């Protein structure tokens, strides 16, 4: 048997039933901190900034860092990051071009991923719209309801780590005909979304991502709609429920938001004109 990847671990557990207690090995998701650091400024005056520490499932960490920087409005293009390298086991340094502005005060006080905590809903939406790079094109593209119906099944088929552990969120990008373009898994739903967007950027996908539908395996909260809006994704579908603030964000950014996608049924909460 090959060694387990760093994203999962085997732990001794006891299963209890009315008849017996049985000891066995269980496979669990690994959760570890990742520090994302920035190197910025002109040559000879380069500085480093500890931007964020997120609890994540190890794996595809470069995708996570790049996607995070993009959805936070720090980067507009993948080329603005000249290198991503490890400083230690759980610390990634992202080297930025000298011309990339870094607003240290804003970044140390307010990141969008926590903007719905302690900030009113309108302020959260306005903050995103102030720096949002892309918006979906009105009425484009059109997605068939038949394509949407089959997305959760295709997502589950591709979730290798979820099958092993049952403890991961997933975010996937699908093309207009339902073809899987990219899938990423993580213990944090926002991390899975950053990984998927970062993977698309690193693969050379053209921004904005206006030809894709994004599917998330759980609920659709504000932070997921915000991240999709930053990338110009026109349609976000969720297996679970959206939040009220997520619907407001989708409505204001021109995004089609789908919830409760299960079997041959779903609800549309904003911009239904894209679904035919």
Residues 193-239: tens digit of each pLDDT: 999 999 999 999 878 899 999 999 999 999 999 999 999 999 999 99
Domains of the chain: 32-118 (3.10.20.10), 145-274 (3.40.140.10)
pLDDT of residue 4: 46
Residue at token pair 């006891």: 14
pLDDT of residue 49: 93
Is the pLDDT at 265 greater than 90? The verdict is yes
pTM of the model: 0.88
Is the pLDDT at 73 greater than 70? The verdict is yes
Q: Rounded distance, CA 106 to CA 49, Å?
A: 12
**Per-residue pLDDT averaged across 241-263, rounded?**
95
The band of 131, judged by pLDDT with boundaries at 50, 70 and 90, is: low
Q: Sign of dihedral through CA atoms 38, 181, 268, 159? A: negative
Q: In the annotation, is 117 catalytic?
A: yes
| CB distance 222 to 245 below 8 Å | yes
Is the pLDDT at 119 greater than 50? The verdict is no
| CB distance 149 to 263 below 8 Å | yes
Question: For residue 90, what are the CA distances in angstroms to 34, 49, 198?
Answer: 5, 15, 18
3-state secondary structure of 42: coil
3-state secondary structure of 22: strand
Query: In this predicted model, what pLDDT tens digit does every residue of 140-175 receive, in sequence order?
Result: 899 999 999 999 999 999 887 776 777 789 999 999
What spatial distance separates the first Cα and last Cα of the chain, rounded to whole Å?
47
Is the pLDDT at 255 greater than 80? The verdict is yes
| CB distance 83 to 66 below 8 Å | no
């Amino acid at each position: 048997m090959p060694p387990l990847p760093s994203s999962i671990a085997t732990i001794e557990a006891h299963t209890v039933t009315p008849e017996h207690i049985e000891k066995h090995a269980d496979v669990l998701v690994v959760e570890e901190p990742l520090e994302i650091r920035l190197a910025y400024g002109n040559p000879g005056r380069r500085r480093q900034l500890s931007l964020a520490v997120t609890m994540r499932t190890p794996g595809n960490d470069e995708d996570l860092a790049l996607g995070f920087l993009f959805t936070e409005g720090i980067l507009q293009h993948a080329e603005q990051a000249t290198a991503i390298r490890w400083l230690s086991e759980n610390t990634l340094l992202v080297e930025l071009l000298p011309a990339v502005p870094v607003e240290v005060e804003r970044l140390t006080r307010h990141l969008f991923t926590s903007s719905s905590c302690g900030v009113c809903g309108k302020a959260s939406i306005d903050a995103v719209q102030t720096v949002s790079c892309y918006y979906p094109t009105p009425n484009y593209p059109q997605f068939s309801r038949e394509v949407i119906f089959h997305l959760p099944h295709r997502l589950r088929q591709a979730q290798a780590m979820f099958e092993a552990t049952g403890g991961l969120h997933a975010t996937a990008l699908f093309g207009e005909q339902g073809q899987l373009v990219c899938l990423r898994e993580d213990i944090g739903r926002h991390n899975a979304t950053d990984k998927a967007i970062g993977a698309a950027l690193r693969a050379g996908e053209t921004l904005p991502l206006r030809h894709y539908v994004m599917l998330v395996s759980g609920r659709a909260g504000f932070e997921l709609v915000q991240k999709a809006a930053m990338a110009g994704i026109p349609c976000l579908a969720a297996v679970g429920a959206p939040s009220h603030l997520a619907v407001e964000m989708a409505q204001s950014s021109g995004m089609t938001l789908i919830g409760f996608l299960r079997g041959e049924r779903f609800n549309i909460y904003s911009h239904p004109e894209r679904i035919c």
